[in-house]
């Protein structure tokens, strides 16, 4: 039903959408430089993130993961299925990285009302 190229197209589009959401949120933060200083954030390329924002990104990644796992049930071609499994693993890696970033923020003992 889905070819490997179909999956790659879907994966690229989902990553582009995720990047757009991330960039939009980073732009909001850049426009509120004073708020950034109050959050006690974690440094990331292009800006800073709070624990609250990172948790929102994890929700997005989890939704993406569920979508790919759903697609898995429709794929019969072995090569395509192997490719999808690699994409699923990459999404899990994203979630793990975001969780590590949350732990770094929380290790700084940031009061929740400042997030």
Q: Are 56 and 43 in contact (CB under 8 A)?
A: no
Distance separating alpha carbons of residues 54 and 69, to the nearest angstrom: 22
Cα three-residue angle 56-59-64, rounded to 5 degrees: 135
- Residue 18: pLDDT above 60? yes
Q: What is the pLDDT of residue 31?
A: 60
Distance separating alpha carbons of residues 64 and 15, to the nearest angstrom: 9
The residue assigned the tokens 């440094």 is 43
Q: What is the pLDDT of residue 46?
A: 45
Give CA separation, 78 vs 1, 67, 72, 81, 106, in Å: 12, 19, 11, 5, 42
Q: How confident is the model at residue 8 (pLDDT cuts 50, 70, 90)?
A: confident
- Residue 69: pLDDT above 70? yes
């Amino acid at each position: 039903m889905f070819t490997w190229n179909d999956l790659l197209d879907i994966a690229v589009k989902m990553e582009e959408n995720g990047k757009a959401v991330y960039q939009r949120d980073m732009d909001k933060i850049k426009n509120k430089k004073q708020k950034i200083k109050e959050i006690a954030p974690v440094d990331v390329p292009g800006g800073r993130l709070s624990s609250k924002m990172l948790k929102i990104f994890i929700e997005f990644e989890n939704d993406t993961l569920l979508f790919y796992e759903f697609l898995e049930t429709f794929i019969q071609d072995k090569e395509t299925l192997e490719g999808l499994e690699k994409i699923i693993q990459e999404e899990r890696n994203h979630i793990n990285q975001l969780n590590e970033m949350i732990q770094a923020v929380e290790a700084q003992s940031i009061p929740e009302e400042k997030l």
